[in-house]
Amino acid sequence: MWQRLRRFGVELYAFFTAPFVMRNCLSMLALVAFILMLTFWWLKCYTNHGESVQVPSYVGMGFREAARKARARNFGVAVSDSIYVPGKPPGEIIAQDPKAESRVKEGRTIYFTVAKNNPDIIKLPELASSDDYDIYSRKLSRMGLKPRIVARAADPKLEPNTIVAVIYRGDTITQKIRYGYSLEMGATVDFVVSEEVTTTVNIPDCGCQTLDAARFLIQASGLSVGTTFKDATVTDEETAYVWRQTPRFDPNGIMRKGEQVDLYLTQDKPKDCQ
């Protein structure tokens, strides 16, 4: 048994060390190495391995101009989306992918988002389940609309900031919303909302103020100007100063809204005024 194995090993060694066998094996190894090198070289050329170019910014250009410049740099171009943006001319590039200054391989396609001519038509959500202005206005903002408060109305039956009326282009559409009211994206929607009812206010300090300034303070407090009493020095009521008021100013005093404040005027500014 041992002799047979030894004889087989000697014959195998003699076969592989024969000159023609060694030449054939080396030739096969060289051929495999050549094929691998050729394959790696072709892949490198095909994929531009290790090579990249910087993407310029096309935002703000018209589509034709952007496409021409992109193709001149060996990029492909495609429009991925079109949206309406108020003030933007149709065809203007709004966004691009890949973004400007990113590095990509040559031949990469640049996807553009362009402005379109006509705005999308949006249906207003119903008010029945959400008449709170803060909640409803956030919905409209996410839909591309512009909500704003144009007036506030005191209503003791409503929580503060409750929607009282919805106005679009001067038309009250509060009731129309329940039947499905549509308008253009980007439109401004006006609201009248409720505010907390206040029946009492602090007494304003009108002393040392001109009559015009005192009137402003009184009316801003929800009060009204009562009788104006002029002393003998007053020659021009509008430039006269308040030296006394009824009721007197009290930091802790209050009045009911709508009540009157009487003013006493003198022409020159009182000496005790700073």
pLDDT band at 106 (very low <50, low <70, confident <90, very high): confident
Q: What is the mean pLDDT of the chain?
A: 83
- The predicted structure's pLDDT at residue 264: 94
Asked if 247 and 255 touch (Cβ cutoff 8 Å), the reply is yes
pLDDT at 14 over 90: no
Instruction: Give per-residue pLDDT as tens, 163-214.
Output: 999 999 888 888 888 888 999 888 899 999 988 777 788 999 998 898 988 9
Flag the least confident range among 8-12, 164-168, 270-274. Answer: 8-12
Bridge partners, residue 260, by sequence:
224
Tell me the three-class secondary structure of 171-203, residue by residue. Answer: EECCCHHHHCCEEECCCEEEEEEEECCCCEEEC
pLDDT tens figures, 53-84: 888 888 989 888 989 988 988 888 888 888 88
Q: Which residue has the higher pLDDT, 102 or 52?
A: 102
Residue ranges covered by each domain of the chain: 53-115, 121-195, 200-266
Fold entry, domain 121-195 = Trypsin Inhibitor V; Chain A (3.30.10)
Instruction: Extract the tokens encoding 85.
Output: 């943006």
Instruction: Look at residue 120 in the predicted model and tell me its pLDDT.
Output: 82
Residue 152, CB-side half-sphere exposure with 13 Å CA sphere = 10
How deeply is 173 buried, as exposed, middle or buried, from its count of CB atoms within 10 A (0-12, 13-18, 19+)? middle
Paired with 114 in beta bridges are: 82, 93
Asked whether the predicted pLDDT for residue 257 surpasses 90, the reply is: no
Average pLDDT, integer, range 243-256? 90
- Separation in Å, CA 187 to CA 42, 129, 145, 155: 57, 23, 5, 28
For the full predicted model, state whether its pTM sits above 0.95.
no
Residue-wise pLDDT for 115-168, tens only, equals 888 888 889 998 876 789 999 999 999 988 999 998 888 777 888 889 999 999
What pLDDT is recorded for position 184?
86
Q: What is the pLDDT of residue 2?
A: 65
Question: Which CATH number, 3.30.10.20, 3.10.450.350, 3.40.190.10, 3.90.550.10, labels domain 200-266?
Answer: 3.30.10.20
Q: CATH number of the domain at 53-115, please?
A: 3.30.10.20
Q: 4-8, 63-67, 86-90: lowest mean pLDDT where?
A: 4-8
